[in-house]
Copies of this chain bind each other. A is one copy, B any other.
């Protein structure tokens, strides 16, 4: 970091550097449209990902482009933004600069760090190889290949015990992603693959959902958790709560149900990790206090201590919402919160530029409710003032997701895909693609 920070724009307008183009970074960028600033948006991938539907790519219901929009295409009309596809390797708060992996150094006047979260295996990183998580499109493709190949390998396998292991799917973690994955896997086994195999019966597949606490969907009221569990059971999912995972290897999972209990073994070739989330390691570059999950502790304006020009938003931030009653409430790691934080950080920057910082109120998270889908015609919804489940909740889930999906074309295609899937019970993206590093024409993965 010896080179002089270079301004990436030739003008002398204030430079806003935004790291990460998830829901938070994108909201901040858009909120600064038309503002007299030069924005540089850095992301290591070329697309904004609609993560709430990622499990549908992993379960072959949607193709990747349906939920991933090229960032620079989305922002092509916003002339004050330069999009760079690059990896951030360092942050120098004193010199107000960010260095990229290729050695470039970008100066800033305001910095918004919105690098998001990644999987956490609670200190068991050796589990990662056996129980992939679901955060990126790469993860989704890997998981899709695993699930589809599990049925293929069962069809090839003459030994009944190993066949059963291929046909056992374990989802670890009963949050929304775990519930959605388990429900969809059960649907695939019982409906999608019907009549397609000759040696196995895919509907004999077991789908287990393991949750450490006493109920699934802990963020929702108890009554909706119970409804979700009943709907999952109706789809053929074995829900096991108070079930702690103590080991994962290539052959299956070891679990403990209740504190002094003997560990129990579940043979399963496909294990999905939907349990732990940790903040992006990028937070460490800021050299400020982090909480246990690696999140950056920010003030009421989402800034880090001593640096009013540095904002941290989204899943990377341990933020507090100032409620109308004056109390503070932790902001949950959900996409509406990230969007709201992005917009708030942008407003802070605009206020600072106008010298009107004092007029701005601390961040307050507006909770419009929570939703989780379980499968065909099954979902639960909690709008605070109203809780419902079943078909109505499913339709509501569908509407909300289509509405928030980025880009008109994607909405139309996804709606068509869903309509088709609904009537045919089919999933069209059942393609196993695994670029092999050593294949002809292969390149070493970046």
Q: What is A's interface to B at a CB cutoff of 8 Å?
A: 45-47, 63-66, 68, 70, 72-73, 76-77, 81-86, 100, 102, 104, 118-119, 125, 128-129, 131-133, 137-139, 141-142, 146, 148-149, 152, 155-156, 158, 195-199, 273, 409-410, 413, 416, 420, 426, 428-443, 445-446
Contact = CB atoms under 8 A, between A and B. Distances in A.
A216 to B, nearest CB: 22
A426 to B, nearest CB: 7
A248 to B, nearest CB: 11
Contact of A102 (B102, B146, B156, B409): B156
B158 A443 contact: no
Contact of A45 (B86, B138, B410, B432): B432
Top 9 closest pairs, chain A to chain B, by CB: A132-B441, A436-B445, A63-B63, A85-B152, A65-B429, A70-B430, A82-B198, A128-B440, A72-B196
B141 A435 contact: yes
Contacts of A129: 441-443
Nearest to A142: B435
Contacts of A434: 138, 435, 445-446
6 contacts: A129-B442, A132-B442, A142-B442, A146-B443, A413-B416, A437-B437
A152 B45 CA distance: 10
A47 to B, nearest CB: 5
Contacts of A83: 155, 196, 198
Given A139-B441, A445-B438, A431 B198 contact: no
Contacts of A68: 431
Most chain B CB atoms below 10 A, which of A139, A149, A431: A431
B119 A440 contact: yes
Given A46-B149, A70-B196, A128-B441, 11 more contacts: A63-B63, A64-B433, A65-B428, A65-B431, A76-B195, A82-B199, A102-B156, A142-B442, A413-B413, A437-B437, A439-B445
Contact of A142 (B125, B196, B420, B443): B443
Contacts of A410: 428
A338 B137 CA distance: 35
A236 to B, nearest CB: 21
Contacts of A442: 128-129, 132, 142
A81 B195 CA distance: 11
Nearest to A140: B433
Nearest to A429: B65
A438 B445 CA distance: 8
Contacts of A86: 156
A73 B198 contact: no
Most chain B CB atoms below 10 A, which of A125, A128, A198, A436: A198
A10 B433 CA distance: 33
